[in-house]
Structure 1
Amino acid sequence: MARILVVDDAKFMRMTLSAILVHASHEIAGEAENGPEAVKLAKELRPDLVIMDITMPQMSGIEAVREIRRDCPETKIIMCSAMGQQKMVVESIEAGAKDFIVKPFDESRVMEAVNRVLN
């Protein structure tokens, strides 16, 4: 069981992702709706994993990944992207994300990525 921080500016997406993760017996350590909040919560909560949207207001997911990786190098990160954001996915991997999942979420693909990154 991992402690996971879920980050997305859309509440529906956070709820969907949290439901998938809880169903697989993971603990939701917290939720954030933007980059600065994600960075702050990652430092406070020290989750095992952060699942983060790429496109958010205030600070992009990519910028947030860089800050979290700098402050919490042990925290693993999976990015979420909508279709057609390949360039951003590559940037997020270069910034330190370990994997990515595409929206809309497919439960088996989400769990495959989570299990791969955590093991």
Structure 2
Amino acid sequence: MNRIMIVDDAAFMRTMLKDSITKAGYEVVGEGKDGEEAVKLYKQLRPDLVTMDITMPGMDGIAAVKEIRAFDPKAKVIMCSAMGQQAMVVEALKAGAKDFLVKPFIYDRVKDSIEKVLGL
């Protein structure tokens, strides 16, 4: 079973994403609330995929992706952003993210993105 880590500063967003991920048949192995926690948890848990919010206090999602990809160049990250953050999404993709999801999350889009990034 593929192991997924969720990173978002909003607990309710993590819960919504976790519901979609588990419904799609994946295991959520960890949850982080900011970029620093994301990097630390990634190194401990080695998940198959990370969903990463862009805008978080402290280290943002783009900086966290860069650190995670420096640690593990094969890391698979899907960025999550609110509407109207297209410039940040482009920056995230340049930083090494494989795809992006727009909030609010739509189950089919979450499932499709995970399958695409994992190559299923």
TM score, norm. by length of structure 1: 0.98
Instruction: Extract structure 1 runs of 4+ deviating beyond 6 A.
Output: none
Letter in 2 for 1:10: A
* Structure-2 separation of matches of 1:114 and 1:7: 15
* Structure-1 separation of matches of 2:2 and 2:18: 12
Where 2:6 maps in the other structure, the secondary structure is: strand
Where 1:50 maps in the other structure, the secondary structure is: strand
Corresponding position of 2:40: 40
> Is residue 2:16 matched to residue 1:24?
no
Corresponding position of 2:61: 61
CA contact (8 A) 1:79 1:89 kept: yes
Corresponding position of 1:10: 10
**Which sections of structure 1, spanning at least 5 residues, go unmatched?**
none
> Is residue 2:104 matched to residue 1:80?
no
* Structure-1 separation of matches of 2:117 and 2:79: 11
Report 1:90-101 matches (<5 A). 90-101=90-101
TM score, norm. by length of structure 2: 0.97
Letter in 1 for 2:52: M
Corresponding position of 2:115: 115
Q: Aligned Cα RMSD in Å?
A: 0.6
Q: Kindly provide the CA deviation profile for residues 59-115 of structure 1, in whole angstroms up to 9, marking residues without a partner as x.
A: 110000000001022220000000000000000000000000000000001111110
* Structure-1 separation of matches of 2:103 and 2:97: 17
Letter in 2 for 1:83: M
Identity of aligned residues (%): 60
Letter in 1 for 2:95: A
Question: How many aligned residue pairs are there?
Answer: 119
Where 2:83 maps in the other structure, the secondary structure is: coil
Letter in 1 for 2:101: I
